[in-house]
Amino acid sequence: QVQLVESGGGLVQPGGSLRLSCVASGTIFTTLAVGWSRQAPGKQRELVAVITDDDTTNYEDSVKGRFTISRDNVKNTVYLQMNDLKPEDTAVYYCSTDRDGSNWYGLLGMDSWGKGTLVTVSS
């Protein structure tokens, strides 16, 4: 079973930056795809960034050019660097993993989930 622990959420001003971290344990990390998704109240959860087992990355259009997902396989950690944050980025951000290292099915393919970390972008 995969255990995922997110950290790094908080309150930032518009235009600011934040880095989220997700530490995985209980599995062989290198074979997993890892994603960051977010959900705001009253909205659907959306997958905003994915990194596959071969380090291919994919981003939702609204965060392209602003967010960067990366992984450190030695530390079993995935990061989401968020720059130029906007109020509409406010949401609970979740780390998730897919045993299919290519994450063929996107959000629906995720097998394990963290509990989330809240990001609030406000002045």
The string of pLDDT tens digits covering residues 43-57 is: 999 999 999 999 999
Q: What is the mean pLDDT of residues 73-82?
A: 96
Report residue 28's pLDDT band, with 50, 70 and 90 as the boundaries.
Answer: confident
In whole numbers, what is the pLDDT of the chain averaged over residues? 96
Q: What is the mean pLDDT of residues 28-47?
A: 95
Strands (E) across 1-123 are located at: 3-7, 10-12, 18-25, 33-39, 46-51, 57-59, 67-72, 77-82, 91-98, 112-113, 117-121
pLDDT at 86 over 90: yes
Quick one: what percent of the chain has pLDDT higher than 90? 96
